[in-house]
Structure 1
Amino acid sequence: MTDIIIYHNPACGTSRNTLALIRNSGVEPHVIEYLKTPPSRALLIEMIGRAGMTPRALLRQKDTPYAELGLDDASLTDDALVDAMMEHPILINRPLVVTPLGVKLCRPSETVLDILPDAQKGAFTKEDGEAVRRL
């Protein structure tokens, strides 16, 4: 059985679509609602590195305290940005997916297909009616 983890926010349509795409590949992932159970600092840093991202690239701006915290300040260090995400997990963009093939911020949701070990078991349509096709 393939071990897949999704750091999920059930209130987010992109996160729900990503979860459904994982399930459509025949796998039931470990679902971690990261707002309730955020990753440790060390795990967050590891996932950012494995995804080939920077902490700034993982920061969510919309519907978060991003502006109030002054996180648009380009002089802030990676450590300061990670500190902000640890203090306010809503700043962690989602969904983050971990599979044996890598770690990816899955925005848009169909980018999860790049790291799923198993193919989709059937056709898939997003919540908004958009069909997802693997080319």
Structure 2
Amino acid sequence: MSTVTIYHNPSCGTSRNTLALIRNAGIDPTVIEYLQTPPSREILSGLIKHAGLSVRQALREKESIYKELGLDKATLTDDQLLDAMEEHPVLINRPFVVTPLGVALCRPSELVLDILPEPQRGPFSKEDGQAVIDQNGRRVN
């Protein structure tokens, strides 16, 4: 079985849908609830780099603390943004997924399909009812 890790927030619908898509492929991933067990700075930097993102792209702007800390200032360095994410893990955008095929910030949740090492095993719809995978395990357009 392939090794898959998801940095998960169970309160986030996108994260829950991503986890469900992983499991729909028959994969039992390592689930890291990153608000309880935040990734180290080194791991976080690696996730961002391997996902092909900038630090700012991995920053969750919807949290109130984002504005409170003034993180919208374009003059802030990557180190300053990482400092904020390290101190306040809620600022880490989610979910990051790591598989043998790559790393992705799975927003929207369907992005996980591009890096899963196993095919989908059956139909899947998101929590809101939107069909993503048909009865044959194929992606719905």
TM-score scaled by length of structure 2 = 0.94
Match of 1:21 in 2: 21
Deviates more, 1:32-41 or 1:62-71: 62-71
Taking only aligned residues, the RMSD between alpha carbons, in angstroms, comes to 0.8
SS in 2 for 1:48: helix
The structural deviation recorded for 1:66 is: 0.3
Q: Kindly report structure 1 stretches of 4+ aligned residues shifted beyond 6 Å.
A: none
Alignment partners' CA distance in 1, 2:40 and 2:63: 22
Q: Which runs of 5+ in 2 are unaligned?
A: 134-138
Match of 1:101 in 2: 101
The structural deviation recorded for 1:64 is: 3.8
Q: Identity of paired residues, percent?
A: 67
The structural deviation recorded for 1:125 is: 0.6
Match of 1:41 in 2: 41
SS in 2 for 1:66: helix
Alignment of 1:1-135 (within 5 A): 1-133=1-133, 134=139
Give the structure, 1 or 2, with the largest relative contact order (CA under 8 Å, sep 6 or more).
1
Residues 22-56 of structure 1, C-alpha deviation per residue, up to 9 Å, x if partnerless? 00000000000000000000010011110010110
The structural deviation recorded for 1:61 is: 1.2
Contact 1:50–1:102 (Cα < 8 Å) also in 2: yes
The structural deviation recorded for 1:62 is: 1.1
Alignment partners' CA distance in 2, 1:78 and 1:103: 19
The letter of the residue matching 1:96 is: F
TM-score scaled by length of structure 1 = 0.98
Q: Which runs of 5+ in 1 are unaligned?
A: none
